[in-house]
Structures are given as C-alpha cells and as structure tokens.
Structure 1
Amino acid sequence: MPGFTSIFIPIILAAALWTIILKGYALWYAARGSQKKWFIALLVINTLGILEIVYLIWFRPKPPINEVAPVHTSSSQ
C-alpha cells in the first residue's frame, strides 16, 4: 500500500490547492461586485472549483470597456 499513498497524497494536495486558489479568486470578485448571493453560494458549496470556474467565466462583474486605469504618480522627489 505505500505506493498507493505516495500517488494519492500529491493528488489530494493539488486538488486542495486548486480549490483554495479558485475559491479565493471567485470570492474576491463576488465581494467586490456586491454579489451577496454568489458570495454565499461560493463560500458554502464545495465543488473542487467547478462552481468557481462557472462564476468567474460567466457571472463575475465585467469592467466597462472604455474605462481607463488611473495613473498614479509619485510626488516625492
């Protein structure tokens, strides 16, 4: 059985890391977009990233197309 655990543990760790990264990314977008229902669903439902991927691709708030990022200048010389 040692061969099984040496293969199984890295797969579980990779799946956990994948889920944590996608969940954090999706929760961040849902919170910034004031989407409370999506935030709660993403927080409660654990689907190995499937729900997070669906949200990030189709439902996250999109910035306006003509929006220009503000330019920050340093005032210290």
Structure 2
Amino acid sequence: MSNIIQFMTSNKLMLLLLICWSIIWKGVALWRSARNKQLIWYIVLLIVNTLGILEIIYLSFFKKKHENL
C-alpha cells in the first residue's frame, strides 16, 4: 500500500489525470442514469469508484441506437 501512495505522490500529474478521467465518466453516467430514471444505477454509480470502468460499462450497455458519445 505504501508503494501506491509513494508512486502517486511522486507522479502528481498522473493522479490529476486519473481524477479528471474518473469525474468526467462518472458525471456522464450519473446524468444518463438520472435522465433514464434508473435510481438503482444512479446510487451504485455514485457510491462505487472504479476509475470510470463501471461508468463506461453502464454507458455502453444502456446506449440507445441513435445516440453517440
């Protein structure tokens, strides 16, 4: 665990990029789940932090035919 902390403190740009990446995907997924009135997905996406992985899976699974990201 201390290796991860040491890596992140020495690579602040990488940490900032990961935070931005996660916030963008989480925002889009939360917006889409709220718009589709999917309360369970909204709560799960709000609580679980996966660096955007769960959000990307959600957005891919619930993508409408005519919608592009």
- TM-score, length-normalised on structure 2? 0.77
Q: Unpaired runs of 5+ in structure 2?
A: 1-8
- Counterpart-to-counterpart distance in 2, 1:59 and 1:41: 15
1:23 CA drift (Å)? 0.3
Query: 1:46 is matched by which residue type in structure 2?
Result: N
* Gapped regions of structure 1 (runs ≥ 5): 66-77
Q: Partner of 2:39 in structure 1?
A: 36
Give the one of 29, 36, 56 matched to 2:59. Answer: 56
Find the partner of 1:15 among 15, 18, 26: 18
The separation in 2 between residues aligned to 1:50 and 1:42, in whole angstroms, is: 10
Name the structure 2 match of 1:27. Answer: 30
CA distance in 2, matches of 1:11, 1:58: 28
Matched to 1:26, the amino acid is A
Larger radius of gyration between Structure 1 and Structure 2: 1
Q: 1:59: how far off?
A: 2.4
Taking the aligned partners of 1:50 and 1:27, their CA distance within structure 2 comes to: 13
Taking the aligned partners of 2:58 and 2:31, their CA distance within structure 1 comes to 12
What is the total number of aligned residue pairs between the two structures? Answer: 58
Matched to 1:51, the amino acid is L
